[in-house]
A and B are shown apart, each in its own frame.
Chain A
């Protein structure tokens, strides 16, 4: 079964840091671009960051650029998001998602269950 499982979310103070993880199984992880999408409570979906299949190319939303770092370990089938200098507005459920086509940035056919990051003022 194709599956993504996030972990690492927690309650942290403003200015703090966390590392989110996304463990992949059931597909050839190293062949697919991966993405983080977040959803603040009661709101819609916001693209956060994407990474190419090899990890050589990374992309960030302006709202997180310079504070968040996306990476991956293809030997461990795991995607990461290092989140630093957290702000109250970063409070959200963070989802990892797999691109439908491969090493492209298109639609996301597999999503994890999400991990909650809560930033206290």
Chain B
């Protein structure tokens, strides 16, 4: 099973600031990596797939990078609606499909 590790667990950022979230895979997942945003009481929302391709309707301030075992989600100029929990998920080697433990982005 591929273990996905996200860091930090919590990230405090000021509105308008930049956030960089890390996701590490226990073995290579190539570019088969997705990022999701989840707000309290809501279902997850797909942001990025293929490590760097934005899903339909996702603003350009969200960007993904990396391949192999190291990945980054960057949110430039954080808006109030961006404060949420973010999860990465690999789909290269499965079953099982695996998610990271999440990073909470909170207001500083």
Question: Which A residues have a C-beta under 8 Å from some C-beta of B?
Answer: 35, 37, 44-47, 50, 59-62, 95, 100, 105-109, 111-114
Question: Which of A47, A62, A105 gathers most chain B CB within 10 Å?
Answer: A47
Number of interface residues of B (CB under 8 A): 24
Residues of A within 8 A of B95 (CB): 47, 50, 59-61
Cross-chain pair count, CB within 8 angstroms: 62
- CB of B43 within 8 A of CB of A112, answer yes
Question: Which B residues have a C-beta under 8 Å from some C-beta of A?
Answer: 32, 34, 36, 38, 42-46, 49, 55-56, 87, 89, 91, 94-102
28 pairs, CB–CB < 8 Å, chain A vs chain B = A37-B44, A44-B87, A44-B99, A44-B100, A44-B101, A45-B44, A45-B99, A45-B102, A47-B94, A59-B94, A60-B95, A61-B96, A62-B96, A100-B46, A100-B55, A106-B91, A107-B46, A107-B55, A107-B89, A107-B91, A108-B34, A108-B36, A108-B46, A111-B43, A112-B43, A113-B42, A113-B43, A114-B43
